[in-house]
Amino acid sequence: MCETGREKALLEVLRRGLELHGQKQTEAQLGDRSAYLGMSDIARYADCPRAAVAGKLAEADTTVERLLTLQRGHWFEDGIAGSLAAAGLSFMRQVEISDSYAGVPIRAHLDLALVWEKPKPAVRVLEIKSMETLPKEPYEAHERQVMGQVAMLDELWDAPRFTLRREDGSIAHEKVGFPELCRRELGLNLPDNPEKVSIEGWLLCVSMRYARAFGPYLWDAHALERLREQAHEYWALLSGVKEGRAALSDIPHATGFHPLCTSCQFNGDCPKFPQGASQPQWEPALDKLENLKERRSELDGEIKELEAVLKVAHQLAGTQDWINTGGHRFRVSEIAGRSVLNRDTLKEELAAIFYSEHMDDIDVDALLARHERAGAPSSRLTVNAIN
Ligand code: SF4
C-alpha cells in the first residue's frame, strides 16, 4: 500500500516523537550508556563480541520499526509495574547497581525488584522482555543478564553501590547499600547479611497476547567473577577499536548457527558470511520468496484461529456426528498422539537383560546404531536479510 504525503508526514511525526521520548527516557534512567558496560551489553558480548563492540559504537537505529520495538518494552514494563502495584506488592523500578573492575565501569539496572520482609525476607529480581513470539526456552543471553543481576545484588548487597532515580532522572537515593535503599524507599527492614534473604532472579517474557516466566535464577559463586572478566575483555576490545588500534574485522564473531545473525544490525559485512559472487538478478526472486513465506505464516495463523473456532462450534453442538453446513460438513475427532521410541530406556532395559543373561560384553550403543537409518541427504536454502 502506497502512503500519501499526509500519511507519511503523520508517520514522521510519530517517528520523531518516539525518538525524542526514547532519548529522554534513556538519559533519565540509564545515563550515558557509552560510559559503562551494562548487563545486557555483557550478555550480548558472550553471544558475539563483534556485535557487542559494534553495537556500543554505532549510532542508534531510528527507524520507526526499531523505535516501536524499544518503546514496546517500556510500555510493557509500565503495565506490569501498574499490575504489581494493584496487587499490593512492594517494589522498586530501575535500581542501579554500580561496580568497577580493573578500571572497567559496570552497571546493572533491575527492571523491577520486588521486596518483602515476611514470612522470610526476600527479593525477586524481574527482568522483563517484550517479544513478538514467546520462546519455549529462555534465550541464553537473557539468562546471563538476570544471573549477572542476581550476582551483583548478592555480592554488593551492603556496599554503597545502589542508586535509585525518580522518573524524571533526578536522584532519589544515591550510593547506598541495598537494605538501606529498601528502608528509605519502601520502609522495609532487610538483614545486612544477604545469606538471610531469599534472592531469586526471574525472566518475565511478554508478547501482546501471552506471558511466560522462566526461573528462578539463583546466586552462583563464580558468576560475578566471570562477568567481570568478560567485561574486562570487552572493554579492552572496545577501547582498541575506539582508539584506532584495531578494526571491527579483528574482533571475534559468533560461529555456527546463531539466531541473532538474521536481525543483527552489523551482518552486512560480517566475516561470518564469506562473500561469493555478486548476482543482483536474483534479488527479486529472494524478495518474492520472503513475501511468500510471510504470507504463509499469516495464513497459518488465520487457519489455526478458524480451526479453533470450528472446534468450539462442534463441541457446543454436543454431537459426535458430522455437522452439515450445506456445501461442506465438519466434525472433531480424537487422534492418538504420535508414538516415539525412547532410546534411553530401551538401552537401559537391554543392558539389564544382557547383564542378567551374562552377555554384558554386548555393546548396546553399537547394537542400536546398527539398526538406525539415516535419511537421504537433502539440500537446504538459507536466506538472510542484509541489514
Ligand atoms: S551477523 Fe552474527 S556473527 Fe556477525 S556480528 Fe552479527 S551476530 Fe555476530
Which segments of 39-139 are extended strands (E)? 91-101, 104-116, 122-130
Site to substitute for ligand 1 among 253, 255, 257, 269, most atoms within 8 A of C-beta: 253
Ligand 1 atom nearest to 270, measured from its CA: 4
The three grid cell numbers given for residue 240, joined into one nine-digit string: 582498541
CA of 225 from ligand 1 middle (Å) equals 26
Residue nearest to atom 2 of ligand 1 (CA): 261
Q: What's the pLDDT at 386?
A: 81
CA of 265 from ligand 1 middle (Å) equals 8
**Rounded to an integer, what distance in angstroms lies between the CA atom of residue 44 and that of residue 54?**
11
CA of 54 from ligand 1 middle (Å) equals 10
Distances (CA, A) of 299 to 94, 131, 309, 369: 40, 21, 15, 41
Q: What's the pLDDT at 25?
A: 84
Question: Which uninterrupted H or E stretch holds 203?
Answer: strand 198-206
Question: Rounded to the nearest 5°, which phi and psi values hold at 27?
Answer: -60, -45
**Rounded to an integer, what distance in angstroms lies between the CA atom of residue 144 and that of residue 129?**
13
**Rounded to an integer, what distance in angstroms lies between the CA atom of residue 78 and that of residue 82?**
6
**Rounded to an integer, what distance in angstroms lies between the CA atom of residue 29 and that of residue 369?**
57
**Rounded to an integer, what distance in angstroms lies between the CA atom of residue 185 and that of residue 92?**
8
Q: How many helices (H) and strands (E) does the chain have?
A: 11, 10
CA of 246 from ligand 1 middle (Å) equals 18
**DSSP class per residue in 13-63:** HHHHHHHHHHHHHHHHHH--GGGSEEHHHHHHHHH-HHHHHHHHHSPPP--
Q: What's the pLDDT at 262?
A: 85
Q: What's the pLDDT at 381?
A: 77
Distances (CA, A) of 222 to 56, 105, 142: 26, 19, 18
- Which residues lie with the beta carbon below 6 Å from any ligand 1 atom? 48, 50-51, 253-254, 258, 260-261, 264, 266-267, 270, 272
CA of 253 from ligand 1 middle (Å) equals 6
Q: What's the pLDDT at 85?
A: 94
CB atoms inside a 10 Å sphere around CB 330: 13
Q: What is the pTM of this model?
A: 0.75
Q: pLDDT (tens digit, 0 to 9) for every residue of the chain, 387 residues total?
A: 556 788 889 989 999 999 998 888 888 888 788 889 999 899 999 889 999 999 998 877 888 888 888 888 889 999 999 999 999 999 999 999 999 998 999 999 999 999 999 899 999 999 999 988 888 899 888 999 999 999 999 999 999 999 999 988 889 999 999 999 999 999 999 999 999 999 999 999 999 889 999 989 998 878 888 889 999 999 999 999 999 998 998 899 998 888 788 888 898 889 888 888 889 999 999 999 999 999 999 999 999 999 999 999 999 999 989 999 999 999 998 888 888 889 999 999 998 998 888 888 888 889 998 888 888 888 787 778 887
